[in-house]
Each structure stands twice: as C-alpha cells, then as structure tokens.
Chain A
C-alpha cells in the first residue's frame, strides 16, 4: 500500500465502519438486518418498486426518503420500455455493491481514489425464459465486470482491492451463490 502522509479521503467514514464492526462483534444480535421492498404492477410489464424501511441494529430503520425503481421490458419485446429490465437492475445492484466495496476497502487500506468506473455485462440465452430449450437456464450464463480505476496505488494493490470488495460483497454472494426463495400468495 502507499505510504501517504495525508489521510485519504474517498468520502468513506472508515472510523464509523470499524466502530460498527466492533460494536456488532460484541452485540451480534444487532447484526441481524432485513431488507425490504414493495412492488406494484403498473401496466403491461411495467412495475414500480419502492424501498422505504428496513430493520437492523435491533430496531426499525428508515431511508432518508422513499426511493423507487421503475422496471419494464424493452420495445423489442413489444413492451413500452418504461425502465430497466429486472436483469439489468441485478447488474446495477452488483456493480454498485462492488463499487461501494472498492471505495471502502481502498479507504481502509489508505488508497486515494481518483476515479472508479466499471462496465458490467450479463450473457443470457432467451431460449431459457421462453421455454424453447429445457437445458437452457433462465438466468445469466455468466457475468463480466470490468473495472478501470485511477488511484494512488500499484496495479497489484488495485487488483487486491477489487478482489477484496468481491469477498465482502452482499450482491456478489447473492448472485454467485444459491439462496432459498419462498413466494407466497396472500
């Protein structure tokens, strides 16, 4: 890592994060979080998902304000294209999770970032979701993320930061590993 005399500022409050880590090590019940979203059908393939509250640190929590995500299918599917496709939202979630991790890990390692950009691509064979070929899965066959990072660090250090951000990423784990899903109707 670089030996900087001036502390780095990537806009990440490392001390607060390390404090939270220590706090949750001592009080693990506070680490139990639940993330929630509610989704409403608008019309056609268009839906609107809102996030508002979540729980964690032993209490109900709320975002500073509600946020909404518009999802739809593109016009080539004869839809109106009122928003990103759900798979694109997954890609966005993965890229933003990894990028938050890059900033956090870099700050923790004393690396000043100047720019972090990435492109993310997921390959999908539509014969899966269209039920044309039973052997083709619905989801991505593979995802490629490419980072371009300008920072005060060697290439190896930057690679290590990106590797560590994957190791600590919620969405990386969510996408790479199976999760039990229960869908109910009330």
Chain B
C-alpha cells in the first residue's frame, strides 16, 4: 500500500494533523492500534475530566459549542468529541491497525503493521506522550503481597482493597487519584516530589483562561530559556470538576490525606521518604505566586481591575509534621502516578541521537520526512493540550508539505516497477544511503 503520508495515532494530535493535511489536499492515512481516542477509551480513570474548560476545546476547524463553556469534559464526552471531529472532515482513519515497525528506506519509509505494510514519503508520529507509565526501579523491591497499579491501570476505588493506600506522585494524576481514594473511605498517604501548584480560579476566572490571555500558553519552544526543563515540567496539580474546585496539598491534607516527601528507598520493612518536601512546597508556592503576580500585572495594564474581584493569593502550603519513614506493612496498595513516557520502540533506530533520544527540532525530526506531534512543549507551552496541538499541527503540516514538494515520491505508481518520480528537485538526504 502506498500513500504520501502515514499518521500514526488517531487521538487529538493525529486528527489535527489529518485535518491540516486534508486542507492541503495531501493524501494520507491515519492508523490507530484501537479506535479514535483509544487512550481516552481504555487508559483513563472513570472520573477523569479534561483539565481545561470546555471553551478551550479547540481543534483545527472544530470546537466545543455546547451549553457549558466553563465546564470540564468527562472522559466519555472527550471520546465523543474526538469521534465527532473525525467525522466532521472524514479523516481517513484506519482503526485496529497496530504499527510494528517504521523503517527508513532509500526513498521514504516503510510502515509495517499487523494489517500489511505501507510505503510512504513521510511519517507523523502522533502516539502521544503517555504511552507507558514511568515507574521507579524501587517498585520491584516492594514485597509481593502489595497490590501495585499505575495511573494508566487505575479506573476507580473498587479496584482496591479497603486497606491503606500509598499514592506516589502528586501532579494531576496522583493528586486526583489520592483525592478520590481518600473520599472513598480509604486512608491515603501521598508521596510528593516536585510539583506545580495553581488555584483552579483566580479572580473568578479559570486559571487556564488567564494563562491563555496573558500569552503564557503560547510561549514558543525556541523562546524559552531552558527547553529541556520546560518539557520535563510536571503536569499542573489541577482537577476539572463541576464545582471548579482547587485541588492542592492544602485541600488534600484537609480531606485527611497524609503527605510525605518523595519516595526514595525501600529499606527492609520501611519506606523512606525525602526530607526535602518543605523546600518543594515552598518552591511551588513561590512559582504559583510569580505566575499570579504576572497575571495581576497584566490585568492592571489592560484595565481589567475595575471589573474583576481584588487579587488574592491562595494560602501557603501548610505541612503538618512529616514522617521520613513509614512501615510498609500498613499499606495494601501502591498507586504509581510517577509520570508517563512516550514509546517509540517501533521507530527506526536512525531517528535517535547518541543518547537514545528522538532527535527533533520542534517536531521536525532529524530524519527527513519524520515528524513528531502531541508531546509536552513540542512547539509551545500548550502543545500537549487539546487546545494546543492545532497550531503545532499547522506548522508541521506546512513543513511537511514543502518537504513533499521538493523530493522524489515513492507514490503514486501502483504496479509500476520502480518508484514514481514526481518532484522538481531531489532531496540529497534521501539519496545519501543508509546512514548509520
């Protein structure tokens, strides 16, 4: 099978790219191992809602137009939204196709799947940033009796026994899961590492509204001081809820969650936690207030102070006495909410640098014709948001279009002995042989 472009993954990123390619009249196919929005269907807990309000649900050529712009979409609503998006422009999605290998060929790429092989000029990897959970190595040191699950496996409290739970990680996933389990009547201890704290509402407006209007979400990858750091930043400690409530450590502590530092070691019968939590919460408070200061300055400069409530600051995080050691015997379950990693094991090794990282500049991979989309801060701070992938997809589609225009195509000469030559110029990269 031949096509100019194969997009891998039919989530928000793959569909946004498909929309742009469709608009440019570029033939392509979108492959997904499951259905549209597969991860939202199968790898998200039941109560999860988007962290951004409905009005911010904007994809290229499509946006939320329902009656609750300030609400937060449930998991099922998000699936339905992406399904409708696919239908809105007839995205050429092929579902239940698992990509096994993407190999560079002298011309273009070969995409091997469990349903046959595609040959194409360009590949867009849009499989997302959360393909697998990141679980620290010390998980293997826990006694066998422990029920361990990660945030991709967690669905609801009914999966767990009634005993005490250790939730490791306090970004959006860990904070939300700890909150839900504590409300279910279980005693939860939350191990807290580096985290980013923000109030859901500031001066009656959603924090994402502010981050959007002050331009923070549009900050570009080629403008930030330390891109690696920006890309590694943990997700915001937020929850999308009908009450628009704030979920921070103060709220969790008030609901009875026990808070400890980062889980550092399992030593005999004990779990040891970092004694550095006071610094981390102080840092999170400082960073929160710095952003709120920036927001309030913006509000004053733009004459918004008249119409908005006076600025306030959320109370500083107040930690009770924090143990640095706990007996493991008190816990039945450990939930790992220690982050996610993208998975590119199916990609040609030539796409990676010496240190095994996928080499790219804002999604334009060093391997010509390969593109990456839908990971944190790919091209702007909002890159991994449903609201942020569209502009990235537009820029990469433009680059991809130019790339197709100036190279030798492997299509469309079905049945022909060789490859179809359609281009005006030849991209020297393509003819340079097998490289490494």
Residues of chain A having any CB pair with chain B under 8 Å: 156, 159-160, 163-164, 166-167, 172-173, 175-178
Contact = CB atoms under 8 A, between A and B. Distances in A.
A164 B276 CA distance: 12
B279 A167 contact: yes
B282 A163 contact: yes
A173 B276 contact: yes
Contact of A177 (B275, B282, B283, B289): B275
B272 to A, nearest CB: 5
A166 B262 CA distance: 15
Given A166-B276, A166-B279, A173-B276, A178 B286 contact: no
Which 3 pairs between the two chains have the least Cβ-Cβ distance? A176-B275, A176-B276, A166-B279
Given A163-B279, A172-B276, A177 B286 contact: no
Contacts of B274: 176-177
A175 to B, nearest CB: 7
B268 to A, nearest CB: 12
Given A172-B276, A178-B272, A167 B283 contact: yes
A38 B267 CA distance: 28
Contacts of B286: 156, 159-160, 163
A160 B290 CA distance: 10
Interface of B: 261-262, 264-265, 267, 272, 274-276, 279, 282-283, 286, 289-290
A167 B193 CA distance: 12
A178 B265 contact: yes
Contacts of A173: 276
A110 to B, nearest CB: 13
B282 A159 contact: yes
A102 B267 CA distance: 33
A86 B68 CA distance: 63
B276 A163 contact: no
Interface centre among A160, A175, A178 (most CB of B within 10 A): A178
Contacts of A178: 264-265, 267, 272
B198 to A, nearest CB: 17
B129 to A, nearest CB: 23
B313 to A, nearest CB: 11
Nearest to A144: B278
A173 B282 CA distance: 16
Contacts of A175: 275
Nearest to A166: B279
Given A160-B286, A167-B279, A176-B275, 13 more contacts: A156-B289, A159-B282, A159-B286, A160-B283, A160-B290, A163-B279, A163-B282, A163-B283, A175-B275, A177-B274, A178-B265, A178-B267, A178-B272
A178 B282 CA distance: 22
Contacts of A167: 279, 283
A156 B279 contact: no
Nearest to A137: B325
Given A176-B275, A178-B272, A156 B282 contact: no
Nearest to A160: B286
A160 B275 CA distance: 19
B324 to A, nearest CB: 8
The listed residue with most B CB atoms (<10 A of its CB), out of A166, A175, A176, is A176
Nearest to A173: B276
A172 B265 CA distance: 17
A156 B283 CA distance: 11
A81 to B, nearest CB: 29
A176 B264 CA distance: 10
Best-buried of B261, B276, B282 by chain A (most CB within 10 Å): B276
Contacts of B279: 163, 166-167, 172
Contacts of B276: 166, 172-173, 176-177
Contacts of B261: 176
B211 to A, nearest CB: 20
A160 B265 CA distance: 28
A156 B262 CA distance: 25
A159 B274 CA distance: 21
A160 B286 CA distance: 7
B79 to A, nearest CB: 39
Contacts of A177: 262, 264-265, 274-276
A160 B282 CA distance: 9
A21 to B, nearest CB: 11
Nearest to B293: A156
Contacts of B262: 177
A136 B51 CA distance: 44
A156 B291 CA distance: 12
A156 B290 contact: yes
A175 B261 CA distance: 14
A69 B290 CA distance: 42
A167 B283 CA distance: 9
Nearest to B266: A178
